[in-house]
A = this chain, B = another copy of it.
Amino acid sequence: MRIGELSARAGVSVRALRYYEEQDLLTSTRSGSGQRHYTESAVERVVFLQRMYAAGLSSRTIAELLPCVESPSEETSDAALARMAEERDRLSAHIADLIRTRDSLDALMAVNRAHRETLRTA
C-alpha cells in the first residue's frame, strides 16, 4: 500500500510516517518513481510506535528496542532486551505515580463535593 492508505489505516499523518522513516523506525520499499510502498505489517508496526510514544519513549529509545520487535526469531542483543526491561520498569513507576495523582484528584473532588453538600443543606 502507499503512504496515504497506511496513514488512514494506522490513524497517523503522512508527515508522521515520513518522520518515522527518517528516525529509522519504519522502512519502505520505493517504486521506480520514488514513491513509498508498505506491507500489511507496517500497520501494526505504526500502532506499536504510537504505543511507545504514548508511553513517553523518545524516537531514539524506541529504535533501541526495535531489535526485540523485529526479530524475535533471531538472537536479540542483550543490550536491547536490557533496555526493554529498563523502560518497562520506568513505565511501571510512571503508572504508579499517575495512579497516586488520580487518587489525589479524587480526594480533592470529594472534599469539594462534600462542602457543596454542606452549603446546600445549611
Contact = CB atoms under 8 A, between A and B. Distances in A.
A91 B104 CA distance: 12
A112 B81 contact: yes
Dominant SS among interface residues on chain A: helix
Interface residues of A, number: 37
Can you tell how many copies of this chain the complex includes?
A: 2
Contacts of A105: 84, 87-88, 91
B52 A108 contact: no
A108 B55 contact: no
Interface of A: 48, 51-52, 54-55, 68-69, 72-73, 75-76, 81, 84-85, 87-88, 91-92, 94-95, 97-102, 104-106, 108-109, 111-113, 115-116, 119
